[in-house]
């Protein structure tokens, strides 16, 4: 495996792990985290802004295409309508940097990311 291929697989893996780690922000609404500023910075609302998720999804598609992982790219197609929906919403938002994902949306992203990760593992192992 060439260094560029290994680097591409590393980037792909990092993107998938990021998506698989998405969590919703719904549970934070009733909690006061002011006494714990470092804990607040590590909450999903800080880590999983919709703008960042869009960037990761674009990078994921680029990695799958450059590595020619056709089966995995087919599995990842489930992301495309979601990506389009988020991009449209962000385009209309007055402050896109504060937009976070809704629970059901985040859960669906996680399920697709799990499926893509399994497909990449299978497909890369076959090469």
Which CA distances in Å does 15 have to 6, 9, 27, 54, 109?
Answer: 14, 10, 25, 11, 12
In the chain, domain spans = 3-126
**Separation CA 20–CA 22 (nearest Å):** 6
Mean pLDDT, each 10-residue run in order, the chain (127 residues): 76 87 56 62 63 94 95 97 96 92 85 95 84
Quick one: three-class SS letters along 49-86? EHHHHHHHHHHHHHHHHHCCCHHHHHHHCCHHHHHHHH
Model pLDDT, residue 64: 95
Tell me what pLDDT residue 24 has. 47
What pLDDT shows up at residue 39? 57
């Amino acid at each position: 495996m060439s260094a560029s291929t290994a680097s591409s697989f590393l980037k792909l893996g990092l993107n998938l792990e990021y998506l698989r780690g998405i969590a919703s922000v719904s549970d934070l609404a009733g909690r006061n985290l002011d006494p714990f500023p470092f804990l607040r910075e590590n909450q999903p609302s800080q880590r999983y802004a919709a703008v960042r998720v869009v960037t990761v999804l674009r990078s994921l598609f680029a990695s799958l295409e450059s590595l020619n992982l056709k089966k995995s790219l087919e599995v990842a197609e489930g992301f495309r309508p979601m990506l389009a929906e988020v991009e449209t919403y962000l385009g209309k938002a007055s402050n896109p940097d504060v937009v976070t994902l809704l629970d059901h949306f985040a859960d669906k992203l996680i399920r697709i990311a799990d499926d893509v990760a399994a497909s990449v593992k299978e497909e890369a192992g076959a090469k």
